[in-house]
Structure 1
């Protein structure tokens, strides 16, 4: 029988997964659950769309920028205490979110929630890496990956149900009982692993947080400021440039610190670790890239309600949750690179097919089928990729490696969001006037020119699917009806075309991820190169 890497006092290493997966599930759900409640929050607080947007942005910002730091905290103080601290913060912040009496309070509570999520996330991977032997690690990562797949769609569906039935507060209150159960299980089942005493890289912490904050803020909020001036002389690209410079200074400092660094650069000597980080960013980029334009298309062009739009992806998400554990077990038997490559190839084909089906008036079942294939690809990618990222790391840097992997995934999502929004906006500027030109062919000659010009001006102003043509006063009723029908046709056709072209961008990014998987070393699971330096079983304190 395979022995675990730590002495669990007779317990199976599988006993650590329930609290880790419950905590990780809450984190992943809360990255998407708020989106469905945006209109409700606008009405509840009388706030603008930009202000309410910060309810989600504040969470994603604090979550992304702290992952490097919190990963190293797990190495320094142990995964269990850091995970438990994050779980308590996340649960209490969720309660504060539900009790918020103003949008400012809600944004602040969401930022604190992101801190709790950042404390927990690297510990889930680090604990699995340190507790499970290499021969079982893929299966364990498969369970972890299935949580990510199911949570992807659970957020919008659960959010829609709660908002429409008991109120927006419950999208946060629901975390309280789940967090309490996860906390109880954590004290019962998570082992206290040995720590590696070393000073925390204070300068590295500051440079990391400042650099990532500037970079993530600039990319995340660039569209809100039209990629121009934020305030006074401060511009979006100035903030992004400053983030790049500070991040560069961070890397130079890490090189100087060596093994005592917040992010030991020797981690990237491992070929699979480096490539898995790029591939992880690619898959998160693609997942962001598909859901933003696709969700808008479902609601604005096909006219689906938010809940019905979320249900389009439900079968694929459930299938992803079923496939991920099997993919993890498969990566324990064959080199994980081939499983990950198959996942990337499946995702690229799925989105390619989806892009051909995004049309006005299409039957919804024709969209569900490629989304099912998308779920298969997601299930094949996440767990083998996480296992490949950490399998070559030693026990002293498992937390740092997990923090780096999760950071690159989150930054990949931020970059994906910025690129996709910019691409969709630019394509709308071209597809809307073209669609208006086609729709105008059936209109009376005297109104064709103003009709097309109205759409061209709306597209130039960045109004996209929300803009169009206003029927002039004094137009006969029959002509006015023709104009409205032509405008609806132009909006639907123009937006569908722009969304399809935007989806195609993500296919290219997934091809990059597939190439990274192909370039990885095909070590057999359990070999020394896969497992990292040999080490005796760690002695742990009973929970």
Structure 2
């Protein structure tokens, strides 16, 4: 138990610092792109460039983690993020920044996939919901603090400064991984993707349906929250790039606070009752709330809506726990790589699709219409409904245990006898 808690603590501390850095730059990325004269779609592409790289590397990263050790892959990924974020500080045009964002995705693929694989291998199935909930909560705390800090950093030092902060915080994460974790076990496999393992996972209908739901959640997170809302503020509220970054930072923080409130209880409920009810309900309700974000006219009117949106979307809990429930232990690294690949398809499509819809449906005054909010809403609802048809191993075990317990109860005598 002690080694489990230590591993969870180190990984949670690392993801806190990394997500703190990511959250510092998130409100600034679209505005940084616009400052180079980019269109709204091109600004959205900056958000989508990072997951675009991960789509191609998540799966190999999982296999390389199995072959070379997940701790080593985490250190390499974090080092790449430090270097690329430093280069972003000195970007002199849009295309350099786009290339840097893509390169950041390489480091992110190595780090995130290996981190999740380490977590999944360490925690027993019956404890995954709560311990992965701790990991996700650490991630969310970073998301809470980061956007507000990012806004302050931009006001003090400009749109480039958040990338310097990201590099420094990721460096702290390297120290955590280097000195806090034992070297992980490696396997003989040449670092190649295990195509048989991939085929085995993709032949499981439930595995695919659960990851469709994951894609939906990530689509909305990257496309609606990190891309559309910052652009919506700049174009519809008449804010400068710096002001839009600050206000977007406030809304991203409120969203993360709300998600933190429901994330941990959802993980506990998922462990006790099964994954399906909280996860499916969360995505469907988030889809119903999303269109109301469009009707916010200023920061005070947007805060309660984004808070409600964060509450319902946070209730999906740690999505990776359902995927790990469906994965044989011996191919966990490959599964986490595939999980990240499919999730990053959502992270990639969200910014590109929604910024494209936003750009094509601007009104004659250059204002954002409700169209991207409606597209996000439909995507979330469809993803949630798809998850409802997936097998839920934890829920099945809990129902079987309750049925066995009920059958074991002694029959009561009829009071009339």
What TM-score do you get using the length of structure 2 for normalisation? 0.81
User: Could you tell me whether the CA contact under 8 Å between 1:135 and 1:526 is conserved in 2?
Assistant: no
- 1:379 equivalent among 314, 318, 328: 314
Change (3 A) 1:367 1:98: closer
Deviation string for 1:154-193 (max 9, x for gaps)?
Answer: 5543332212113444312223443333223223332333
> 1:382 Cα deviation (Å)?
4.4
Change (3 A) 1:115 1:288: closer
> 1:31 Cα deviation (Å)?
7.5
The 2-side partners of 1:321 and 1:29 are apart by 18
Higher relative contact order (CA 8 A, sep 6+): 2
The 1-side partners of 2:33 and 2:378 are apart by 36
The 2-side partners of 1:182 and 1:322 are apart by 25
The 1-side partners of 2:133 and 2:52 are apart by 27
Larger radius of gyration: 1
The 2-side partners of 1:39 and 1:353 are apart by 23
Alignment partner of 2:361: what SS? helix
Partner of 1:179: 170
The 1-side partners of 2:256 and 2:19 are apart by 17
Partner of 2:333: 399
Change (3 A) 1:21 1:272: farther
Q: Which has the higher helix share?
A: 2
Alignment partner of 1:128: what SS? helix
Number of equivalenced pairs: 392
Q: Which runs of 5+ in 1 are unaligned?
A: 5-10, 205-253, 433-454, 456-464, 467-494, 531-543
1:80-479 aligned at under 5 Å gives the runs 80-98=71-89, 108-151=99-142, 156-201=147-192, 257-259=195-197, 264-291=198-225, 292-304=227-239, 305-306=243-244, 307-355=246-294, 357-358=295-296, 362=297, 364-383=299-318, 385-428=319-362, 432=363, 455=364, 465-466=365-366
What TM-score do you get using the length of structure 1 for normalisation? 0.64
User: Could you tell me whether the CA contact under 8 Å between 1:35 and 1:56 is conserved in 2?
Assistant: no
The 1-side partners of 2:277 and 2:5 are apart by 25
The 2-side partners of 1:396 and 1:409 are apart by 21
Change (3 A) 1:120 1:508: same
The 2-side partners of 1:380 and 1:34 are apart by 22
Q: Which runs of 5+ in 2 are unaligned?
A: 401-417
The 2-side partners of 1:55 and 1:517 are apart by 30
Cα RMSD after superposing both structures? 3.3
Change (3 A) 1:501 1:57: closer
Moved more, 290-299 or 81-90: 290-299
Alignment partner of 1:332: what SS? helix
> 1:327 Cα deviation (Å)?
1.8
Deviation string for 1:376-425 (max 9, x for gaps)?
Answer: 12221241x21001122123211111111111111113223333233334
> 1:42 Cα deviation (Å)?
7.0
